[in-house]
A and B are shown apart, each in its own frame.
Chain A
């Protein structure tokens, strides 16, 4: 991924003691309980662990966006992240699909499917 995406995961940290990556903000490393960590970058590519297409949004603001896809992505660096997934018209995602980060904000990553629509 390019420089534009380096700040897409502002919460991504790497434990300076054991090297574990973590996406969810925690004061201690979940693997070794060390308190020190540093900002980490990831390339934004990974595998779709699971997804759901939300048809009935829970709030009025979100109803305008529906249907939208919520995804769990296992990044190649070995950490799971949450995000939205965009798909080309008429295509359905599958668990295991290769995906990549295309955009994101403070805490809002957007992925797209890499391989299947290229084929």
Chain B
């Protein structure tokens, strides 16, 4: 796809965290309405719809159910189902849809009442059994909660590269510090490396604070054509590059668990944007677990292989660091409502580029990398977004 063939022109979030008074569909409607208002558009302008599956609701044909609830009769609609990579993938799919003329304005919206609708324990049990990321016959019977499957990645990374739990903990500390500046974040109380190390062990080496939250929440992003984007009031955020990487479907059927297919997704995204990692001002990286961020930093080219832990430890991903990561606080602290939550990384990148970051606005925001990771670090979709000065 051509560079800047589509643009993000609006973003919206429901309340995120503990939102017992809103159903999954109401969260989705809240996010969609806010994104359209942010874009200066209305539901009447939407002719494309993308969404993700909902664990809580288990809707059949989710894109049809969501379109119906929002009163939409779009000329293009699909459900994007690549787990944690769905948030970034929806943006790429939307851009392809407008670039081919299938439609002109796509509402990408996803969310669910994961915490209030299921309870924290119920969501964790559901993710370990029904539609689990673990293979139904060969992995599920062994009894891994999702964190155990990522713990396999962490353990091997520690073995191969000497990565420490303290370095992983620093990821959680930075995410919490960032969330402190985000009024819509789920968890905002600062934590220390010691807090992360001393938190209850879930599945070695990952403790409770190494794991993403279980939250309620929905997010929405409006993607449209360059022509329409230029005629709206806000600053367009251009899709400059995108790439996918497929490593494996099942964690036990993998090759290396420490070098992931984010290498491929990142390389394709950089090539499309004609830039390199050193041109990226800040990144929004899928942070389902602390180790995920360390692997992504390496595989997306922000530091050499094996040095992700040291990169984090030296302050590299802090707001003041050479690559600020997830200024909103990420899945670890801003909120995680399951598969839909990958869209929050896109929303934050677009808000920063549009200077809508409020108290957490970064200074250098010309070009951002957004990365979604799905399955057990097996499925990847990277985006490079930029403002007018990145064109």
Contacts of B127 in A (CB 8 A): 58
The answer to whether residues A53 and B204 also contact, given A11-B137, A96-B159 and a CB cut-off of 8 A, is yes
Q: How many A-B residue pairs have CB under 8 A?
A: 99
In the complex, B156 has a CB within 8 A of chain A: yes
Q: Which residues of A contact B (CB under 8 A)?
A: 11, 23-25, 49-59, 62, 65, 68, 70, 72, 80-84, 94-96, 107-108
Q: Which residues of B contact A (CB under 8 A)?
A: 124-125, 127-129, 135, 137-139, 141-146, 148, 151-153, 155-156, 159-160, 200-206, 250-254, 257
In the assembled complex, the CB of A112 is this many whole angstroms from the nearest CB of chain B, namely 15
- Complex Cα distance, B142 from A53, in Å, reads 12
Is there an interface contact between A57 and B251, defined as CB atoms closer than 8 Å?
no
In the assembled complex, the CB of B290 is this many whole angstroms from the nearest CB of chain A, namely 14
Is there an interface contact between A84 and B142, defined as CB atoms closer than 8 Å?
yes
Q: Of B145, B152, B252, which one neighbours A56 at CB under 8 angstroms?
A: B145
Contacts of B156 in A (CB 8 A): 49-50, 95
In the assembled complex, the CB of A118 is this many whole angstroms from the nearest CB of chain B, namely 22
- Complex Cα distance, B139 from A25, in Å, reads 12
Q: Which of A23, A55, A84 has the most CB of B within 10 A?
A: A55
The answer to whether residues A57 and B145 also contact, given A24-B250, A82-B252, A96-B159 and a CB cut-off of 8 A, is yes
Contacts of A108 in B (CB 8 A): 141-142
Q: Which of B129, B135, B202, B250 has the most CB of A within 10 A?
A: B202
Contacts of B206 in A (CB 8 A): 52
The answer to whether residues A83 and B142 also contact, given A55-B204, A107-B137 and a CB cut-off of 8 A, is yes
In the assembled complex, the CB of A90 is this many whole angstroms from the nearest CB of chain B, namely 15
Q: Of A50, A54, A58, A59, which one neighbours B159 at CB under 8 angstroms?
A: A50
Is there an interface contact between B152 and A52, defined as CB atoms closer than 8 Å?
yes
Is there an interface contact between B252 and A55, defined as CB atoms closer than 8 Å?
no
Contacts of A70 in B (CB 8 A): 142-144, 148, 152
Is there an interface contact between A59 and B129, defined as CB atoms closer than 8 Å?
yes
Contacts of B202 in A (CB 8 A): 54-56
In the assembled complex, the CB of B264 is this many whole angstroms from the nearest CB of chain A, namely 17
Q: Write 26 A-B pairs (CB below 8 A) sorted by A numbering.
A: A23-B253, A24-B252, A50-B152, A50-B155, A51-B152, A52-B155, A52-B206, A53-B203, A55-B202, A56-B145, A56-B202, A58-B125, A58-B128, A58-B145, A59-B125, A59-B129, A59-B143, A62-B143, A68-B143, A72-B152, A72-B251, A80-B252, A80-B254, A95-B156, A96-B159, A108-B141
